[in-house]
A and B are shown apart, each in its own frame.
Chain A
């Protein structure tokens, strides 16, 4: 049972434009959501997070939006840069339960 889903395995965006990565979840108990970024041959690194009490969190070029009623979150990257090309994973947890990851979206920024 995939509780966190990223339905787009890949996305290509022109440099300078906005990248929007989407994530859906099924477990209404989740109360914290995170995005991780992974380059080839490296472990994932934390990017940005959001608590379920918020609907938006911004950090520089990265903004995460949470729609609890739709059980949907998205990551916006503006403007997109070539160094943003990576695989992006969304993740969620509640309480002391384990962190559950989505399947990832490969983002390619076209110069």
Chain B
């Protein structure tokens, strides 16, 4: 595809359930980020994959959150035992290897609502 694709676009789940959010980055992009934006808040960094390097997981808020990137392409963000405070828009972004500018291309996000 031409852009970063995220699925589902909306997800409503019950507290305590597990959810998986998917991100298809732009082909050839080696860097992939997950961010989330809670209502009225800024972009909160979650995790960063860069090529074959070990991911930077420093932003994951708890051990209920995990992410994988298979084959250097598709990424899945998994939230186990969801809580109401996990409700947010989860944004994925990808970019080419660092050159003179880090121009992230974002997907439209997954709106997660935990009831």
Contact = CB atoms under 8 A, between A and B. Distances in A.
Interface in A22-49: 32, 34, 36, 41-46, 49
B103 interface: yes
A21 to B, nearest CB: 14
Nearest to A99: B102
From DSSP, what is the main secondary structure of chain B's interface residues? Answer: loop
Contacts of B56: 97-98
A96 interface: yes
A82 to B, nearest CB: 22
A16 to B, nearest CB: 29
Contact of B102 (A6, A42, A43, A93): A93
Nearest to A104: B42
Chain A interface size band reads: 20 to 34
Q: Which of A43, A89, A96, A102 has the most B CB atoms < 10 Å from its CB?
A: A43
B103 A43 contact: no
B41 A103 contact: yes
A43 B35 CA distance: 11
A100 interface: yes
Given A98-B56, A102-B42, A104-B42, A34 B102 contact: yes
Interface string A50-69: 01000000000000000000
B108 interface: yes
A43 B93 contact: yes
Contact of A99 (B4, B33, B41, B100): B33
Contacts of A101: 35, 42-43, 45
B106 interface: yes
B50 A96 contact: yes
A101 B43 CA distance: 6
Given A43-B108, A89-B42, 14 more contacts: A34-B101, A34-B103, A43-B93, A43-B107, A45-B106, A46-B104, A96-B53, A98-B59, A99-B33, A99-B102, A99-B104, A100-B45, A101-B35, A104-B43
Interface of B: 4, 33, 35, 41-43, 45, 48, 50, 53, 56, 59, 91, 93, 98, 100-109
